[in-house]
Amino acid sequence: MAELDGVQELEALAAEAARCKACPLWEGRTNVVFADGSPQARVMLVGEAPGKNEDLEGRPFVGAAGKNLDSLLELAGLRREDVYIANVLKCRPPSNRNPQSHEIQACAHFLHDQARLVMPDFIVTMGNFATRHIMKTDVGITRLRGQVHQVGRFRVLPVYHPAAALYDRSKQEVLEGDFRTLGLLLQTP
């Protein structure tokens, strides 16, 4: 019953985000990109913000980066429907520019509520931006990736962003290794 309440709360949150005009990004969006996957997931993946394809489809991580993410999840023994995927920002920044601090300030409560309601065993932050936001640090992803960090009540595993690894073979190999590590962590009692 508690799980159902959490699901209902997430649905209410998604409906609230769909109407949100709390920062100027609402003006340029086609869709609010709230989340994808299971509200009962053991793993929550966090990216930066929707890109062009995500904005058009209303789902996070579609297109080439999404395909890469699907194959990375396989290495961890997971399917997309087993995990919960969200971004720090729910609307696309123009020309995929970096999120700005007032946008994050306006939007971050959605992500924090999502994490509270899903309550995953692991939060996987993908890329520098999501990692810095969740871990409240200026340390770069290269130093933080591949290790589990305790952040409040959450265990956080930072990894490279699947889009950043698309055209960088060595980054892709590191990323694949980190998803294999995630698979092992999930098997550890």
Instruction: Check binding of 46 to ligand SF4 (CB under 6 A).
Output: no
String marking each residue 85-114 x if it binds ligand SF4 according to CB under 6 A: ----xxx-----------x--xx-------
Backbone angles phi, psi at 170, to 5 degrees: -70, -35
| C-alpha closest to that of 107 among 122, 93, 92, 88 | 88
| CA–CA–CA angle 77, 87, 28 (5° rounding) | 140
| C-alpha closest to that of 130 among 67, 45, 17 | 45
Which residue among 7, 26, 135, 154 contacts ligand SF4 (CB under 6 A)?
26
Within 19-161, where are the H helices?
Answer: 52-57, 63-75, 101-118, 127-135, 141-144
**Residues binding ligand SF4: number (CB under 6 A):** 14
- The maximal CA–CA distance of the chain, rounded, in angstroms, is 46
> Can you say whether residue 160 is alpha, beta or left, with left for phi > 0 and alpha for psi between -120 and 50 degrees?
beta
Q: How far is the CB of 16 from ligand SF4 (least distance, A)?
A: 9
Instruction: Check binding of 20 to ligand SF4 (CB under 6 A).
Output: yes
Name the residue nearer to ligand SF4 (CB basis): 44 or 106. Answer: 106
Instruction: Check binding of 48 to ligand SF4 (CB under 6 A).
Output: no
Instruction: Answer yes or no: are the C-beta atoms of 159 and 148 closer than 8 Å.
Output: no
Which residue among 21, 67, 79, 102 contacts ligand SF4 (CB under 6 A)?
21
Name the residue nearer to ligand SF4 (CB basis): 104 or 119. Answer: 104
Instruction: Check binding of 25 to ligand SF4 (CB under 6 A).
Output: yes
Q: How far is the CB of 21 from ligand SF4 (least distance, A)?
A: 6
The site for ligand SF4 (CB under 6 A) is made up of 17, 20-23, 25-26, 32, 89-91, 103, 106-107
